[in-house]
Amino acid sequence: MSNPAKSGIGFPTYVPQSAFGANDRIVYGHIGVGGMGSSHIVADSCAALCDVDANHLANAAKRVQGKPMLTDDYRRVLDRKDIDAVTIGTPDHWHAIMAVHACMAGKDVYSEKPVCKTIEEGLAMVNAARRYKRIMQIGAQGRSNPKVAAAANYLRNGQAGTIKKVVIWHPENLSSGSGFEAPSTPPPHMNWDMWLGPIPYRPYTAETCHFHFRWMMDSGAGFIRDRGNHAISCVMLLTGQDAWSSPVTVKATGKTNPNRIYDAPQSLNVTWKFRNPEWTLEWNQPGEANERLEGEWGATYYGTKDDLILTGGDGGADTEPKAIDYVPPAGGFKHEVEPDKVDVTEKHRRNWRKCIKTRELPVSDIGIQYKTIILPIIANIAYTVGRELTFDPKTNRFINDEEANRFLSDPYREPWSLKGY
């Protein structure tokens, strides 16, 4: 059963009371409702649920009040005039297309990390948000985390001096072990062609589908772009480099696991060298936690006067007491997070909802996150071509490497296009 419409899952008519008008109610459509996407569901204001896995749809529908439209085609969600905003919690290769199309359809967007796969996609997302005047929050919720804010306040007010080097440590991709699963017919609850969408055909295997899509270059590209979106988003906030604009040099080496299908490098070491100001960022996968404050992943910030550790940087994070206890001076830098006593991801969503109403830029706006995601994207390109590259963020191109520039966009399988649907 590849199409829920043909499989007994109904499409009940649902007419919400109001799109945020008199009662300020925002009506949502939720696209991609397995995994993290399921956490974004607003049970009492959901008009549509979309997923290519009918099991995900059925589970999500149980949590929603009323009878939302159920579909495996996000375009049907965007067609609904009564929906104000969408959340996107699909695998990476769908984020940009859906987000751009949602903007064209007049919807505000909360899209999960990582932002996108390619430079072309990231630019298209920024352009769509601006052109259609849409609020686009990326689910890099470290920017709504009070511990991240404390670390940012400490460093941005010069307590460690000038930051010259940041070293991120992170475990290897979850692609160890051995064995190759034989391709099979997709399960009846899965629309595999729609799951693939814009990426080239590959046969169905469970080991390359839910969650594990992350270890395939076409659909995930490893922790460097997945968790890396969180980690590097924090780095750019803490160093004040969100608007970095000078060419950056990137070098990457890694190894895949020869005994599994996955082609994203299981281990990966990357060095980015920035100019104006000069500083270095390292990604060590695997890397060693700093013994002063241990965590599964995190970063040490080395300044000219002091250093600071931030572990995590998504919904979970921790930093050292000197940063937690630090009080920014009047007129100094202060990173604000939503004050409500809710978990970090909910703070992040509330920031988005607030901005939908105020039309201000959200804390993790697509413009900021595009500049973040450039770094893991170009790291994977440097790994793939096997040479050091220099990327110019003003032209959004590599300097003097024609082949590397062919990675700037990843042409889609037909009929998919960033231009519309």
Question: Taking CB under 8 A as the rule, does residue 385 contact another protein?
Answer: yes
- Write b or e for each residue in 31-46: b if 16 or more Cβ atoms lie within 10 A of its Cβ, otherwise e: bbbbebbbbbbbeebb
**Residue 29 DSSP SS3:** strand
Q: Which of 210, 116, 228 is nearest to 171 (CA)?
A: 228
The site string for another protein over 155-184 (x = CB under 8 A, - otherwise) reads -------------------------x----
Residue 130 neighbours by CB under 8 Å, 6+ apart: none
Question: Taking CB under 8 A as the rule, does residue 251 contact another protein?
Answer: no
Q: What is the CA radius of gyration of the chain?
A: 21
Question: Taking CB under 8 A as the rule, does residue 395 contact another protein?
Answer: no
Among residues 200, 277, 329, 332, the one that binds another protein under rule CB under 8 A: 200
Smallest gap from residue 146 Cβ to another protein (A)? 44
Quick one: 131 or 387, whose CB is closer to another protein? 387
Q: Binding segment for another protein among 45-53, 157-165, 243-251, 254-262 (CB under 8 A)?
A: 254-262
Q: Binding segment for another protein among 147-155, 197-205, 307-315, 362-370 (CB under 8 A)?
A: 197-205
Q: Alpha carbon of 319 to those of 139, 150, 232, 275, 336: distances in Å?
A: 21, 8, 16, 27, 17
Smallest gap from residue 345 Cβ to another protein (A)? 36
Q: Binding segment for another protein among 74-82, 90-98, 162-170, 384-392 (CB under 8 A)?
A: 384-392
Question: Taking CB under 8 A as the rule, does residue 258 contact another protein?
Answer: yes
Quick one: 41 or 196, whose CB is closer to another protein? 196
Residue 403 neighbours by CB under 8 Å, 6+ apart: 385
Quick one: 318 or 401, whose CB is closer to another protein? 401
Question: Taking CB under 8 A as the rule, does residue 202 contact another protein?
Answer: yes
Q: How far is CA 106 from the centre of its chain?
A: 21
Smallest gap from residue 409 Cβ to another protein (A)? 6
Q: Which of 372, 167, 368 is nearest to 270 (CA)?
A: 167
> How many residues lie near another protein (CB under 8 A)?
27
Among residues 259, 278, 329, 340, the one that binds another protein under rule CB under 8 A: 259
Among residues 201, 325, 327, 420, the one that binds another protein under rule CB under 8 A: 201
**Residue 207 DSSP SS3:** helix
Quick one: 111 or 118, whose CB is closer to another protein? 118
Q: Indicate the DSSP class of residue 64.
A: S
Q: Binding segment for another protein among 59-67, 87-95, 201-209, 320-328 (CB under 8 A)?
A: 201-209
Pairing type for strands 248-255 and 163-169 reads unpaired
Among residues 207, 263, 306, 346, the one that binds another protein under rule CB under 8 A: 263
Question: Taking CB under 8 A as the rule, does residue 121 contact another protein?
Answer: no
Q: What is the DSSP string of 132-187?
A: TT--EEEE-GGGG-HHHHHHHHHHHTTTT-SEEEEEEE-PPPS--S---PPP-PPP
Sheet holding 108-112, edge to edge: 69-71, 46-50, 28-31, 85-88, 108-112, 136-139
Cβ contact 389:381 at 8 Å:
yes
Question: Taking CB under 8 A as the rule, does residue 269 contact another protein?
Answer: no
Q: Binding segment for another protein among 14-22, 35-43, 293-301, 383-391 (CB under 8 A)?
A: 383-391
Quick one: 255 or 357, whose CB is closer to another protein? 255
Site for another protein in 400-419 (CB under 8 A): 400-403, 405-409, 411-414
Cα–Cα distance measured from residue 80 to residue 28, given in angstroms and rounded to the nearest whole number: 10
Q: Binding segment for another protein among 72-80, 298-306, 344-352, 396-404 (CB under 8 A)?
A: 396-404
Token pair for residue 122? 């990231």
Quickly count: other Cβ atoms within 10 Å of residue 258's Cβ. Answer: 7
Smallest gap from residue 396 Cβ to another protein (A)? 12
Q: Note the residues at the interface with another protein (CB under 8 A).
A: 180, 200-203, 256, 258-259, 261, 263, 384-387, 400-403, 405-409, 411-414
